[in-house]
Amino acid sequence: MSRFIAALVAAPAIVLLVHSAAQAHVVCGDRVFPTTLTMDDPGVSDELSLPTITLTPTPLSQNNSYGYEWDKTITEDLGFAINGNYATQRGPAQKLAGWDNITVTLKDQHPCIDRHPHEELVWSVGLIRLIAGTGSARLRNSGAIASVGSTAPTFYFGKGFGDVAAGYLRPLAITGELSRVFSDAPGASSNAWAYAVSLQYSMPYLQQNVQALHTPQFLTRMTPLVEFAMSQPDVGPPTGTIAPGILYDANTWQLGAEAIVPANRATRLVQGTGFIIQFHAFLDAYYKSWFGRPIINRNLWK
Amino acid sequence: MMTTRLIAAAFLLADLLITPAAVRAHAFLDHSDPAVGSTVPASPSVMHLWFTQELEPAFSWVTVTDKSGASVNDGPATIDPSNKSEFDVKLKSLPAGTYTVKWHALSVDTHTTEGDFTFHVGKG
């Protein structure tokens, strides 16, 4: 029972974890790694995610969050992101609402690796800082958001399958990330490993590189995918989610929707199957000023 | 009520950000004739490629090659003056076989993209 209560207290933090990472997209050769919803991808670019709406039922309440994220390039390869969300909890006992802590990310992307045709390999490294104390005091005091900050060195990668022989497998791609989360106070909030993987099937890639389909155009702009994100604290059980869904890519924006399914029993104790939807704008498509371009027009890797 | 206001504000801000400027983006292949991966019964005289954005002709190119890698372009690729997102290249007479189209595009806002695909000439 005590484990259940502990899990219940941790529920809001877990619910918010799934979309606390920065999100960006990246183009590598003729592969576009789209923006994923519950995890980050290896890209560095000028983008805006607004809003990201997450609806999550828990045993005692309905938790919703309305998130924002701004991704800004400093150089062509180096960028930062700021993200947060407004969270609400509605239950029979109490109703809570307020801003979550702000998270900032600094990320540097290695240039796309294309040593042979369609290698489509890209990776990046980043540092994610959760700034405790920047959110609502009421939420913090109730345990709904983190009261302890953390810093997470993170490795990201993406690999397209454009180099496989079987044509209809070429639109497949995987992306992933691995973080070591160092808590500011490990005694109060454990250090953790966080890892995530996405498997994507790009209909645009199929249409442009393999086989043009005579289907309505909106179908050829979709990328079905599944995201799998886990957190393994040094103390306590692992928790995570499996998020199957669809991304729709227009030329200058992306719309994504996924179900968020608890990945294991420990997660099911604290949250049910939820839903996430996100509108994402590629700012470089709209603005030629610094707002849509790197501040310094050079690549540190070159 | 607060939630509704937040959602409305978010969509309003997104709309404000998107509306004022002319839209520009990466140029990706929208479709082609012959189509990607298709089989055509006879040699096409021209390869047409339509992109999602207007292209910079000086820095964009299309090459069609046969199985041995030899170019079958009959002259340089040109951009349709009436539609700057359409790239055309005249082709030599193509015997039955598989041909690879490689393209490199610089959109008018200087984003570079590239890609390739095949089509087949002869009975499918």
Nearest alpha carbon to residue B105 among B116, B96, B95, B94: B116
Q: How far is CA A124 from CA A26, A106, A128, in A?
A: 11, 11, 13
* Region at A120 (left for phi over 0; alpha for psi -120 to 50; beta for the rest): left
Rounded CA separation A107/A184 (Å): 21
Report d(CA B90, CA A295) in Å as an integer.
42
pLDDT, position B20: 42
Q: Flag whether residue B8 sits within 8 Å of chain A, measured between CB atoms.
A: no
Whether residues A204 and B28 touch (CB distance < 8 A) is answered with yes
Q: Give pLDDT, residue B21.
A: 43
Question: B117 vs A284: CB contact, 8 Å cut-off?
Answer: no
Give the pLDDT of residue B14.
55
Q: For the CA atoms of chain A, what is the radius of gyration?
A: 19
DSSP string, A56-100: EE-SS-EEEEEEEEEEEESSSSEEEEEEEEEEEEE-SS-EEEEEP
Please report, in angstroms and rounded to a whole number, the separation of the first and last CA atoms in chain A.
57
Query: Which parts of chain A have pLDDT scores under 70?
Result: 1-25
pLDDT reported for residue A38: 96
**Do residues A149 and A129 touch, judged by C-beta distance below 8 A?**
yes
Residue B116 touches chain A, beta carbons under 8 Å: yes
Give the pLDDT confidence score for residue B119 in this predicted structure.
Answer: 97
Would you say the ipTM is above 0.85? no
Taking only the tens place, the pLDDT of each residue in B80-116 is 889 989 999 999 999 999 999 999 988 776 778 889 9
Chain B contact present for A204, CB below 8 A: yes
- Strand positions, DSSP E, A132-188: 150-160, 172-183
pLDDT of residue A273: 98
* Band (B8; pLDDT cuts 50, 70, 90): low
Q: Which residue type does B91 have?
A: L
Residue B22 pLDDT level (bands cut at 50, 70, 90): very low
What is the 3-state composition of chain B as percent helix, strand, coil, each rounded to the nearest 5?
A: 15, 40, 45
Contact B90, B77 (CB under 8 A): no
Answer yes or no: do B52 and A287 touch at CB < 8 A.
no
Q: Is the pLDDT of residue B49 over 70?
A: yes
Average pLDDT over residues B69-75: 95
Length of chain A: 302
Q: Which residue has the tokens 């980043």?
A: A126
The CA distance from A32 to A21, in Å, is: 20
* DSSP-derived 3-state class of residue A228: strand
